[in-house]
Structure 1
Amino acid sequence: MSSSLPSIMICGHGSRDKGAVEEFNQLAVRIQERLPEHHVESGFLEFATPIIRTGLDKLRDAGAKKIVCLPGMLFAAGHVKNDLPSEVNNYAAENADANGGLEMIYAPDLGIDPGLLEAAKQRIEEALEAAGDGVAMADTLLLVVGRGTNDSDANSNVAKVTRMLWEGLQVGWAETAYSGVAFPLVDQALQRVTKMGFKRIVVFPYFLFSGILVTRIYDWADAAGAANPGVEIIKASYLNDHPKVIDAFLGRMQDALNGTGAMNCQLCKYREQIIGHEHDQGAAQVGHHHHVQGIGTEDNAQDRGVHHGHGHHHNHAHGHSHSHDHGHEHAHGHAHGHAHGDAEA
């Protein structure tokens, strides 16, 4: 590994689900394999260890001069807009003089990416192939499930993914649901779509990793199938470590280094008055996860020698300047389904 190259820090959400943590660690291994000359570390915001600060300490102690922090999350809601920037900004301030200066670069979220759409398409096609022939695409309904947050901008991104997959796959119909916080929830959506007359329904969790929420989504799908024997309900896999997912992470890293990867702030409720969220505009940016950092998976989330490089350029390459001129206090944004048991690593 070259000390002259930027180090990489992959910042996961964390989960109490052992499988989700292992999948995140495996993704970090894949990123390290694609970046053999870079020092890569990884860590979690909450519910799993190592925490993000542990990974950043490893990079700093190894002599890192520049760290690019990659949010391991699909869309920018409270964690990406507030909690992770808070972690990165605080660490940067505490280590301003480390090794003669430590530059932290915070990369944007994965966002709506052509490669991720292709990965999603392939996951759905794999499920259709496994189910077998006999049902035309015109008789198939696609239900895309997002995590669900109280950030309407992030929720609307899931709806956009649904529309693009609908047209790309040419299914007969498509709907969007959420695993928590936002509506409709999956069970509510399934109650509706099973009455629409389609022979087959594909339930696709637009998630990076497994976890409590994905398990709940699949349980809802099974229950709907049992209650509607005349409708074939099949479950597509989530994205996981699809090669296109790795490509997207590397793309966000390069965007951050080039200064071209800006987080979309156009409809950010912390910058603009967004209907239904007027009280969030201008709130101060504060992290909210110190009470659960590292909790829940002491044995199953150890740093597996992957050395996942996590670099945060908290200046925010996306222009939020997350010392925030608009101050993201995402006390609201991180509600993200926590009441349902944080399940995304």
Structure 2
Amino acid sequence: MKPPLLLIGQGSNDDADSAEFGRFVHRLRCRLDQKAADVSGGYLERATPRLSDSVASLVARGHHRLVALPLSLNRVGEEYPAAMEREQQRHPTLMYDYGRHLGPDPRVLALLAERLNDAATEMPRLRPLELVGGRPRLRAVEAGIADLHPGHIEPGETAVVLVGEGSTDPSANAEIHRVSRLFWETHAYDFMTVETAFVSVTPPGVPGGLERCRRLGAKRVIVVPYLLFAGGMLERVWAQALAYGAGHPELDIRCAEVIGDCETLADVVIDRYEEALQLVP
């Protein structure tokens, strides 16, 4: 039997993010069951199951070696390997191999291109926000005539803003700029430009990215979140874009969905798992 795969998430207070993480773990469990490998997932903080509980469960079931994989598009900090070192101290018999984060894998870029194309063809305009349980939530509304019949806009008049989470680590932020360039050259070269923005922590924010596109002469801007799952982070992206759009009604601003739980993403994770196994001497 192969060592189990342990997916490590950062964790958030958002139920939607946690639910999609859980569904993705289940998808991988179904996929890897054909290869006789167990799959589990745990968070570093703020959400359940916690990493420590998931590791304890695997050890209790007789697993003393596993592959730990950070489920992240971005460069991960020292907190991920540090967390696994703490688990090794709790369970002295535990051995683990550490897999690479997902990063701008060509299949990830292809998924971003799918979300971009969906937003360009299916979403007429940004949907307004309403408060649900004290938090801003997007809701669907009937589109007006102007929304249903926008003027024809060429791809060369359309800009893209790729939005990363934002970090205090300059190298992590530089990686998002690199992803934007890769995405433009491999999947979005017909568009005017692919600009980079961040949800928080570091500039430019989403409004800054949109403003740059407007000044470059874009008539339409499509915001593409460089995020795995829906949740509070995605809502912040949409809310910032909506707030900017309220002051610039002449600009057609559209927002794409996140990558989400899907088979292609599972393919990337399984490849990282197999890669980690092959690196073992």
1:18 paired residue number: 15
Q: CA offsets, 1:232-254, max 9 Å, x none? A: 00000111113221111111111
Code of the residue aligned with 2:12 in structure 1: it is S
Which of the numbers 99, 104, 119 marks the counterpart of 2:111?
119
2:203 paired residue number: 183
Distance in 2 (CA, whole Å) between partners of 1:193 and 1:229 is 14
1:128 paired residue number: 120
Query: Aligned ranges for residues 1-345 of structure 1 at < 5 Å?
Result: 4-36=1-33, 37-78=36-77, 82-97=78-93, 102-131=94-123, 134-167=152-185, 168-170=187-189, 171-259=191-279
Distance in 2 (CA, whole Å) between partners of 1:191 and 1:246 is 35
Deviation at 1:93, TM superposition (A): 3.1
Code of the residue aligned with 1:201 in structure 2: it is V
Deviation at 1:188, TM superposition (A): 2.3
Q: 1:129 to 1:189 in 2, by over 3 A?
A: same
Distance in 1 (CA, whole Å) between partners of 2:21 and 2:279 is 26
Tell me how large the CA RMSD over aligned residues is: 1.7
Distance in 2 (CA, whole Å) between partners of 1:220 and 1:165 is 22
More helix by share: 2
Code of the residue aligned with 2:96 in structure 1: it is M
2:135 paired residue number: none
Deviation at 1:158, TM superposition (A): 1.1
Contact 2:210–2:221 (Cα < 8 Å) also in 1: no
TM-score by length of 1: 0.69
Q: CA offsets, 1:62-121, max 9 Å, x none? A: 11132111111112232xxx1111111122233223xxxx32111111122111011111
Code of the residue aligned with 1:39 in structure 2: it is D
Flag structure 1 segments of 5+ consecutive residues without an equivalent. Answer: 261-316, 318-345
Contact 2:76–2:101 (Cα < 8 Å) also in 1: no
Aligned length: 251
Distance in 1 (CA, whole Å) between partners of 2:99 and 2:275 is 7
Deviation at 1:185, TM superposition (A): 1.2
Code of the residue aligned with 1:15 in structure 2: it is S
Contact 1:146–1:205 (Cα < 8 Å) also in 2: yes
Code of the residue aligned with 1:242 in structure 2: it is C
4+ runs deviating over 6 angstroms? none
Distance in 2 (CA, whole Å) between partners of 1:251 and 1:60 is 24
Flag structure 2 segments of 5+ consecutive residues without an equivalent. Answer: 125-149
Contact 1:221–1:233 (Cα < 8 Å) also in 2: yes
Contact 1:77–1:151 (Cα < 8 Å) also in 2: no
SS at match of 1:35: helix
Q: Which has the higher contact order (CA 8 A, sep 6+)?
A: 1
SS at match of 2:215: coil
SS at match of 1:194: helix
Deviation at 1:152, TM superposition (A): 1.7
More strand by share: 2
Contact 1:141–1:173 (Cα < 8 Å) also in 2: yes
Deviation at 1:19, TM superposition (A): 0.6
Deviation at 1:123, TM superposition (A): 0.8
Code of the residue aligned with 1:96 in structure 2: it is P
Distance in 2 (CA, whole Å) between partners of 1:232 and 1:155 is 27
SS at match of 2:12: coil
Q: 1:218 to 1:241 in 2, by over 3 A?
A: same
2:136 paired residue number: none
Code of the residue aligned with 2:65 in structure 1: it is K
Distance in 2 (CA, whole Å) between partners of 1:193 and 1:138 is 12
